[in-house]
Amino acid sequence: MSNPSLLILPGDGIGPEVMAEVRKTIDWFGANRGLHFDVSEDLVGGAAYDAHGTPLSDETMAKAHEADAVLLGAVGGPQYDDLDFSLKPERGLLRLRKEMDLYSNLRPAQCFDALADFSSLKKDIVAGLDIMIVRELTSGVYFGEPRGIFEEGNERVGINTQRYTESEIERAARSAFELAMRRNKKVCSMEKANVMESGILWREVVERVSKDYPEVELSHMYADNGAMQLVRAPKQFDVIVTDNLFGDILSDCAAMLTGSLGMLPSASLGAPMANGRPKAMYEPVHGSAPDIAGQGKANPIACILSFAMALRYSFDQGAEADRLEAAVEKVLADGVRTGDLLADAGVQPVSTSEMGDAIIAALDESL
Ligand code: NAD
Ligand code: IPM
Ligand code: MN
């Protein structure tokens, strides 16, 4: 049987820097655990625009459809700010999500013990935190029509449309309940049913789906209160399910509960393919971090943990995913820190590649 295929799209800014460290871990699993992947690499975002004049070529899109899983670094950067909207790096990422129909974006926020002191919140608020945000990823205001900038009288108007069908809400909700069944059996759904019709429908459909999961305790929260509760008492949550835009914002907020945006991985999952694996792309929650790009300062852990999610959700290698997560935990417990994780004065930060090497050394010790 041939090896499963991985398409790697490093992208822009720190994307290629953190992805180089993921490549080390992929190679490690090949050499030490007999997990071999056919890896190919291609361009996305600004890098693809520079080479081909488009943020995602049709050829790359076709490769993404064929791959068993896609790993993406990050896209974007200030040098692309003035490009036509349709050519911006972010359009490449959004096209991948939409055309692969990756409707369920899993964004786990876990606080590793070694970092509990480092969160901008008090230690007892975040210590032991383990929550999962399920963000609907292919609809809502990101994709709704009408959209655009139009002339209206003697001024212009910018329009985006929040739009959700029942089936779009249902499939996102179902993935949240399925996850909750394997976790602590609690789902909190966040919308703004007090001001948005799409929120009213969201709440109704989630309520209906919950009938199929009687063991799961469902609650509803307005998303603005949800943001406040996430920083007030985040451990009240198990699984949070929410729409595309609220999920984007709430997950950056959740990132700071874990210590840094450089820690948060994600899995973007769609329907099962013919081989039974879900269509899937794995991507850190952070962006291209132009302020630190090219300086070897980026934290590669979010991207490495995204590969761990690939092992778990695409390749049925939960034990190997645990091994990689434990290696990250060990390195943090040993006090190894990239600059974004520095709490204690006097601790020298390590570089992106030194962090990758430390994780490989911890993997070696796990054998
Ligand atoms: P960002 O996530 O790139 O950076 C926000 C802050 O977090 C910066 O100070 C950055 O240095 C820091 N940071 C992020 N990741 C880090 C890491 N791994 N290690 C250490 N520090 C890290 O968000 P932004 O600055 O708002 O956006 C920059 C560009 O990235 C924009 O073009 C945006 O559209 C794009 N973006 C892309 C993605 C993606 O590709 N998935 C996600 C978010 C933003
Ligand atoms: C994310 C990013 C993207 C989003 C951008 C870059 C399109 O912020 O993945 O969180 O808004 O979804
Ligand atoms: Mn975001």
Give tens-digit pLDDT for 289-343: 999 999 999 999 999 999 999 999 999 999 999 999 999 999 999 999 999 998 6
Q: How many other C-beta atoms are found inside a 10 Å radius of the C-beta of residue 270?
A: 18
pTM of the model: 0.97
Q: How many other C-beta atoms are found inside a 10 Å radius of the C-beta of residue 291?
A: 10
Q: How far is residue 10 CA from its own chain's centroid? A: 14
Architecture of domain 1-109+261-367: 3-Layer(aba) Sandwich (3.40)
Q: How many other C-beta atoms are found inside a 10 Å radius of the C-beta of residue 245?
A: 16
Catalytic positions are: 142, 192, 224, 248, 252
User: What does DSSP assign to residue 237?
Assistant: -
At 163-179, the pLDDT tens digits run 999 999 999 999 999 99
The per-residue pLDDT for 344 is 66
Bind-site residues for Mg(2+): 224, 248, 252
Q: Is the CB of 285 under 6 A from ligand 2?
A: yes
The tally of CA atoms less than 13 A away on the side-chain side of residue 341 is: 33
Bind-site residues: 77-90, 97, 107, 135, 224, 248, 252, 287-299
Q: Is the pLDDT of residue 244 over 90?
A: yes
Distance from the CA of 248 to the center of ligand 2, in angstroms? 7
At 29-85, the pLDDT tens digits run 999 999 999 999 999 999 999 999 999 999 999 999 999 999 999 999 999 999 999
Percent of the chain with pLDDT over 70: 99
The tally of CA atoms less than 13 A away on the side-chain side of residue 7 is: 21
Closest Cα partner for 105 from 179, 33, 161, 158? 179
Report the CATH fold assignment for 130-256: Isopropylmalate Dehydrogenase (3.40.718)
Q: Residue 361 corresponds to which tokens in the numbers above?
A: 């050394």
Segment 223-236 mean pLDDT: 97
Q: Nearest 5°: CA angle at 90, between 85 and 92?
A: 95
Helix%, strand%, coil% for the chain, nearest 5: 45, 20, 35
Q: How many residues does the chain have?
A: 367
**Sequence-ordered list of residues with C-beta below 8 angstroms from that of 319, at least 6 positions apart, any chain:** none
Query: How sure is the predictor about 120, in pLDDT bands with cuts at 50, 70 and 90?
Result: confident
Question: Letter for the amino acid at 202?
Answer: W
Shortest-distance ligand to the CA of residue 105: 2
Average pLDDT, the chain: 96
Burial label for 211, CB within 10 Å (0-12, 13-18, 19+), is exposed
Q: How many other C-beta atoms are found inside a 10 Å radius of the C-beta of residue 253?
A: 17
Q: Where in the chain is the domain with CATH 3.40.718.10?
A: 1-109+261-367, 130-256
Nearest CA to ligand 2 atom 5: 90
Closest Cα partner for 162 from 183, 134, 187, 191? 191
Closest-lying ligand 1 atom to the alpha carbon of residue 78: 32
Residues 16 and 42: beta-carbon distance below 8 Å: no
Shortest-distance ligand to the CA of residue 290: 1
The ipTM assigned to this model is 0.98
Q: Is the pLDDT of residue 345 over 70?
A: no
Q: Which of 288, 303, 336, 350 to mutate to test the pocket of ligand 1 (most atoms within 8 A of CB)?
A: 288
Distance CA(116)–CA(129), nearest Å, equals 9
